[in-house]
Structure 1
Amino acid sequence: MMIESMSVYLSGQFEDGPALLHVRDDLLRAGYRVTSRWLNSGFATPATSLAGQPGAAGKLAAIAHQDIEDIMAADVLVVFNPPEACAIGRGGRHVETGYALALGKKVIVVGARGNVFHWMPEVTVVSGWDDLLELLGRCP
């Protein structure tokens, strides 16, 4: 049985954001709270594309701080890591994973293990969203 107040942070590549919106909506309908404000960005361009522009340092730092706040507010961090994402990407989801592990959060990888931290016993790996929803329903 799901705990009504369970909160989830969805982590993934920026390009996967539109797909994660559907997952977010499914989780919200199931009664979970989703803390990932980055999903409200509109996905026009990755935040890192600001690098080198005037005032970029402050904007990028603010985005990073917001992500950290959202991870801290979550009970569980879910990493969307399809096999093809393991070889590409900027790596923000890996930083988010490490931060969540350091905080003692439950971490669930949907897809493939992408780095050494995904092999830790504290990390659960599931193959797809249906498996994720089933697992979240069993989380204390």
Structure 2
Amino acid sequence: MKFYLAASYGRFHEIRQYSLALEEAGHIVTSSWCKGEYLENDADLLSPQYEHLAHEVLATDLGDLSNCDALVAFTESGDVSARGGRHVEMGIAIGMGKRLFVVGCCENLFYLLAEHSRFDTFDDFLRWLSSCDDPEYIDLRHRERIKNSV
């Protein structure tokens, strides 16, 4: 399957390791942001001197979301000072009818759409994924369910 990994940019190095683990398991990770292709501190993208780069990053992220089969949202517990781009990415994935997985707590109401696809840890998610006979079939069933519920 092709996955987009959505998380707080402060978790860059952790998510990069998860990306490598998924690729090692034979999956494709479409998230360019966690492959070291952007600024180490994404807050710089909000400054006027990086405006052109910011638009390139946005276009790339939207393309990455479009090219995935599923979004894996890495949530935060407690008070988080992150700006919340991962919530926007989750909303875009919902709008595109993508399969949703949540690793961590249910941060807001929309994370309930992942239904039975929430895992306490990335290792739990990876174990579940490796036990699936045909993840693409699971994805097709999910898309049909989403179509019928709208």
TM-score (normalizing by structure 2): 0.78
Q: Given that residues 106 and 123 in structure 1 are in contact (C-alpha distance below 8 angstroms), is that contact kept between their aligned partners in structure 2?
A: no
Equivalent position of 1:60 in the other structure = 54
Q: Runs of 4 or more off by more than 3 Å in structure 1?
A: 42-45
Instruction: State the distance in 2 between where 1:121 and 1:49 align.
Output: 32
1:25 to 17, 20, 24: 20
State the shift of 1:17 in Å.
Answer: 0.9
1:9 to 4, 8, 12: 4
Change (3 A) 1:125 1:60: same
Secondary structure of the structure 1 residue equivalent to 2:117: strand
Q: Which has the higher contact order (CA 8 A, sep 6+)?
A: 1
Q: Given that residues 80 and 110 in structure 1 are in contact (C-alpha distance below 8 angstroms), is that contact kept between their aligned partners in structure 2?
A: yes
Equivalent position of 1:132 in the other structure = 125
Corresponding letter in the other structure for 1:125: R
**Root-mean-square deviation (Å):** 2.0
Secondary structure of the structure 2 residue equivalent to 1:89: coil
Secondary structure of the structure 2 residue equivalent to 1:113: coil
Q: Deviations over 1:25-83 (max 9, x none)?
A: 111111001111111236754323232333x3322121111111111111111011131
Instruction: State the distance in 2 between where 1:43 and 1:62 align.
Output: 10
Q: Mean Cα displacement is larger for which, 10-19 or 123-132?
A: 123-132
1:94 to 87, 99, 103: 87
Corresponding letter in the other structure for 2:80: A
Corresponding letter in the other structure for 2:58: A
Change (3 A) 1:122 1:64: farther
Instruction: State the distance in 2 between where 1:58 and 1:123 align.
Output: 40
Q: Mean Cα displacement is larger for which, 73-82 or 113-122?
A: 113-122
Equivalent position of 1:76 in the other structure = 70
Instruction: State the distance in 1 between where 2:57 and 2:6 align.
Output: 14
Secondary structure of the structure 2 residue equivalent to 1:74: coil
Where in structure 2 are the equivalents of 1:99-118 lying within 5 Å?
A: 99-118=92-111
Percent sequence identity is: 29
Unaligned ranges ≥5, structure 1: 1-5
Secondary structure of the structure 2 residue equivalent to 1:108: strand
Instruction: State the distance in 2 between where 1:121 and 1:133 align.
Output: 16
Equivalent position of 2:43 in the other structure = 48
